[in-house]
Amino acid sequence: MALLDRITSPADVRALPARRLGDLADEIRAFLVDRVSRTGGHLGPNLGVVELTIALHRVFESPRDTLVFDTGHQAYVHKLLTGRRDFSDLRRRGGLSGYPSRAESEHDVVENSHASTALSWADGIAKGRQIAGEHDRYTVAVIGDGALTGGMAWEALNNIASGADRRLVVVVNDNGRSYAPTIGGLAHHLDTLRTTQGYESVLTWGKTTLRRSGAPGRLAYGALHGLKKGIKDVVAPQGMFEDLGLKYVGPVDGHDEGAVERALHRAKAFGGPVIVHVITEKGRGYSPAEQDVADRFHAVGRIHPETGLPLAPSRFGWTSVFADEIVRIGRRRPDVVAITAAMLQPVGLAPFEAEFPERVFDVGIAEQHAATSAAGLAFTGLHPVVAVYATFLNRAFDQVLMDVALHRAGVTFVLDRAGITGDDGASHNGMWDLAMLSIVPGLRLAAPRDEETLRAALRAAVDVDDAPTVVRYPKGAMGEALPALEDVDGVDVLARHEGGAGARKVLVVGVGSMVPTALRVGELLAGHDLAVTVVDPRWVLPVPAALVKLVGEHDHVVTVEDGLVDGGIGALTGQRAREAACLTPVQSFGVPAAFLDHATRDEIVDELRLGAHDVAADVLRALGARS
């Protein structure tokens, strides 16, 4: 019987003899490669934390002791060791989440997969345990070196250090990467820790030298104190943490399970906040991942387990078009610079960086800093393009509002994976941006429908130098070109279906990736003797005056978007129409204000009744109720 088959809870992990833990680690890695290659998921991060996670569950007693995983994409091993073995539907509807999930297990605490939050969670939990008098319960936060580049993590460390008697252990999982190599001063600091001789070993050498010299006690103490002070900054750069009031243990080889256990036991015995610095290798034990310098195995689709190659080639996608167009723009516009928050490759800025390395700034996982730094760049006469996933712009809303928009800074935000993304779950759906950004004064937002409108939107966005501009587009492959029949003052007319004499006139408005749905809705409605016009505003914020005029020329208006229906483009269109004394009803279709479970995009669209047949049926029902 395989060792992994015997693991149903952390108690089973603690019961294993130490000599068998290497075998367990090997089985876990083989399991992950086999299962994740079938479903897709975060492979590299989990292969890197196998021994670390085993050690955590042997030293601490979850769920009595609370384990908090920052970001959470490295929690697959944790799932296995807490009895969750069925990975057949990983990240699919009804299957395991790709992140910790309270619905799955009492061992999971934080579901939000946005980075740099775990330390704040841990600080709050540890304070709560202290107030309750639960001094024998520990809180453990596991955070990657990449997530430590986020400002929120340092706010939390500042507060954690104030609780000298709280049972809180911070494990820094240092693999030198997030999506890309970790950047900045922290990265250099951790690199020094990895490569410098340990402080304690130098002190041992100093004590031995003094003892052999025969120096008297007081002189020896004074000499040793001087030695300690003189070498501290050279061989003990962990002083950065200790100066904050945090005990430091490490660095520790994260793939030596016994060494990690010993380090965690030392941290546990201290009785106050401790940093345990663990060095790991992302993709450990899987040759394709170990040999990959582009970090393609951070998150994978379905791959061949032996070669690591995709089972099916990726179709040309939205991100690829952005990557190509921003390079073209960069060639003719030397003032255009790019900012990424530790995601150079995923957001498509790698080609721009290759051609213009001095014009790309990777700020780490720090979206707030990215936005305000962009405002500063704009002040100097440059035009910054900040490329992030749509869901991560949520974290920088105040900076977009008060640092960029208030100062009328010409900054372009490019939002990848906007709308419904699906399999990564609630925190990764980019469905909040339209409603959220609609309240920012002066902001202009484009939702392109195809390759040409994306390229045109980017060119237009970087030409705006007195306000923030936003270009949003969905995850995945790009569909066919959808040419316009005509342009009505900036609003593209995509289809006209003539009805019979006296037919009611219906305007269908598609937003971005929902334009193909809007076209199909138009066809279905036209089959019921309605005169239907299908349009795409392209620039949807602020609501174009031409769109408001078109609303007034129709009897019924339908809007379809993949952002929040409350406060979304449809709601704003109706509001602007009413302000213009237009009484045409606007029927809006979009995403409800709810957190969506992980599933495919198509499954979520069906569940929300955002497919063409459901939308058309609801429109016909509304028209019937009015007739």
Asked whether residue 55 is marked as a ligand-binding residue, the answer is no
Residue 38 known to be catalytic:
no
- CA-CA distance, 471 to 516, in Å (whole number)? 19
* Of 495, 530, 529, 528, residue with least CA distance to 510: 495
CB-count burial class (<10 Å; 0-12, 13-18, 19+) for 595: exposed
CB-count burial class (<10 Å; 0-12, 13-18, 19+) for 133: exposed
Q: How far is CA 216 from the centre of its chain?
A: 59
Asked whether residue 146 is marked as a ligand-binding residue, the answer is yes
Residue 626 known to be catalytic:
no
Determine the length of the chain. 627
Asked whether residue 579 is marked as a ligand-binding residue, the answer is no
Q: Which of 35, 282, 472, 576 is catalytic?
A: 282
Asked whether residue 147 is marked as a ligand-binding residue, the answer is yes
Which residues, 6 or more positions from 79, have their beta carbon under 8 angstroms from its beta carbon?
Answer: 96, 104, 105
Residue 282 known to be catalytic:
yes
Alpha helices in 196-272 (DSSP H): 199-213, 217-235, 239-243, 257-270
* Of 185, 146, 168, residue with least CA distance to 245: 168
Please check whether residue 3 is in contact with residue 24, taking contact to mean a CB–CB distance below 8 angstroms. yes
* Of 603, 573, 605, residue with least CA distance to 588: 573
- Tell me the residue type at 6: R
Asked whether residue 175 is marked as a ligand-binding residue, the answer is yes
Alpha helices in 305-422 (DSSP H): 318-332, 350-355, 367-379, 390-393, 397-398
CB-count burial class (<10 Å; 0-12, 13-18, 19+) for 297: buried
Asked whether residue 113 is marked as a ligand-binding residue, the answer is yes
CA angle 44, 47, 48 (to 5 degrees): 90
CA angle 257, 258, 262 (to 5 degrees): 120
Q: Which of 84, 296, 395, 576 is catalytic?
A: 395
Q: Which of 51, 257, 261, 367 is catalytic?
A: 367
Q: Catalytic positions, please?
A: 282, 367, 395
- Binding residues for Mg(2+), by number, are 145, 175
- Binding residues, by number, are 73, 113-115, 145-147, 175, 286, 367
- Binding residues for thiamine diphosphate, by number, are 73, 113-115, 146-147, 175, 286, 367
